[in-house]
Amino acid sequence: MTVPDIRALKGREKIVCLTAYTAPMAALLDPHVDLLLVGDSLGMVVHGLPTPTAVTLDMMILHGQAVVRASSHALVVVDLPFGSFEASPEQAYLASVRVLKETGCQAVKIEAGEALAPTIAFLVERGVPVMGHVGLRPQAVHVDGGFRAKGRSDEERARVIAEARAADEAGCFSIVLEGVAETLAREITAGVRAPTVGIGASAACDGQVLVTDDMLGLFEWTPKFVRRYADIRTTINDAVARYAADVRAAAFPGEAEVYRFKPKGS
């Protein structure tokens, strides 16, 4: 999949996207999705951080390299983490060049308030494909006081619409729309040229993304908008419990798992 391929899906076919942070998971997801997103959610999902704001550019590049190595079909997008792009368009460009060169991914993602529109345009004009991200923006968690859905008031609704339009006009090839009501998602999707990819934003969007670990049931708690398609947490717990019991009972390793060599000449 390429950037023009994703753009061309708007109004024709729903876009399928999931997060990936490791090579084994990327290899499993790649045949089934259009987009693999190496999101800064990896800070919380993989590293146990309380918010994504502590994620570094080096962390994103390391995980991006692993995902790109294991994928051959999906378009791979890597998040620019908090602090790596806000200071100036030039800072964002240097960070983006590092990500593209060192990972081999095809695009970067930026949490795009209106103030970042000139930065997005600066990147696009210089050959950096950008996915925007509006609505609930996890990197703004400290300003918002938590992870809160957006669009509850007329003022907030207007702000999200303005963010989406600014990202679209700046040249984003797609826009993640997170944590908004269906009516707002529908209005934004109809009002921008770029395909929207929703997370907690209803089926009114042009596509969907979920954190794969949430979708697979690896965590005890998941957000309201997540549908669990598996219960891998229980599967892992049961498997490890059986392994521990076998080790303690000296039932593992057994004959099938032991190397035995015949003496030479016998």
Alpha carbon of residue 47 to chain centroid: 15
**Is 79 marked within a binding site?**
yes
**Is 125 marked within a binding site?**
no
- Is 178 annotated as catalytic? yes
Q: In whole angstroms, give the CA distance from residue 219 to residue 73.
A: 28
Q: In whole angstroms, give the CA distance from residue 163 to residue 150.
A: 12
Interaxial angle between packed helices 57-70 and 89-103, expressed in degrees from 0 to 180 and rounded to the nearest 10: 40
Q: In whole angstroms, give the CA distance from residue 125 to residue 120.
A: 9
**Is 5 marked within a binding site?**
no
DSSP states of 32-52 as a string?
G-SEEEE-TTHHHHTT--SSG
Instruction: Identify the active-site residue in 86, 102, 156, 178.
Output: 178
Alpha carbon of residue 63 to chain centroid: 11
**Is 220 marked within a binding site?**
no
For residue 48, give the amino acid letter. Answer: G
Helix (H) or strand (E) run with residue 29 in it: helix 23-29
Could you give the count of Cα atoms lying within 13 Å of 148 in the half-sphere of its Cβ? 12
Is residue 99 within 8 A of residue 57, CB to CB? The reply is: yes
**Is 41 marked within a binding site?**
yes
Q: Which residues are catalytic?
A: 178
| Binding positions | 40-41, 79, 109, 111
Query: Which residues are annotated as part of the binding site for Mg(2+)?
Result: 40, 79, 111
Give the residue numbers of the binding site for 3-methyl-2-oxobutanoate: 40-41, 79, 109
